[in-house]
Amino acid sequence: MTVKCRGCGAPVLWLKTESGKSMPVDPEKVMYWKVRGGKKRIVTPNGETVACELSGDLQDATGMGYVPHWSTCPKWKDFKKK
Ligand SMILES: [Zn+2]
């Protein structure tokens, strides 16, 4: 189920993470490469948050996952202030 982001109006999907929290993510799955100390975060369909990079060698891709919406939302910072 997707809902609209209150900040930018983009469709977001709410995923349950392993810790039981709901997290808004972009609805399109992207390929990710699991990297220790990676700067990006991906939430897997199982709700696991993974440190990763979003580019790399296709053959070495770890899998498909969701990008947390806070990393792509242009309005997310405004939100946090409120
Ligand atoms: Zn947004």
Average pLDDT value for residue range 32-39: 96
Q: Which two tokens stand for residue 65?
A: 């996952």
User: What sections of the chain are H helices per DSSP?
Assistant: 76-81
State the distance from the centre of ligand 1 to the C-alpha of 32, rounded, in angstroms.
21
Q: What mean pLDDT is predicted for residues 30-56?
A: 96
Check whether 62 has a pLDDT greater than 60: yes
pLDDT band at 81 (very low <50, low <70, confident <90, very high): low
What is the reported pLDDT for 78?
77
Residue 11: pLDDT band (50, 70, 90) is very high
Rounded distance from Cα 52 to ligand 1 centre (Å): 21
Q: What is the spatial distance between Cα 10 and Cα 37, in angstroms, rounded to a whole number?
A: 29
Buried residues in 56-78 as b, exposed as e (16+ CB within 10 A)? eeeeeebeebbbbbbeebeebee
Do β-strands 22-34 and 49-53 pair in parallel, antiparallel, or remain unpaired?
Answer: antiparallel
Counting the structural domains of the chain, the total is 1
Higher pLDDT, 2 or 51: 51
- Is the pLDDT at 82 greater than 90, yes or no? no
Distance 36 CA to ligand 1 centre (A): 27
- How close is the Cα of 57 to the center of ligand 1, in Å? 29
Which pLDDT value is given to residue 77? 79
Look at residue 4 and give its three-state secondary structure: strand
Residues of the domain holding 32: 2-81
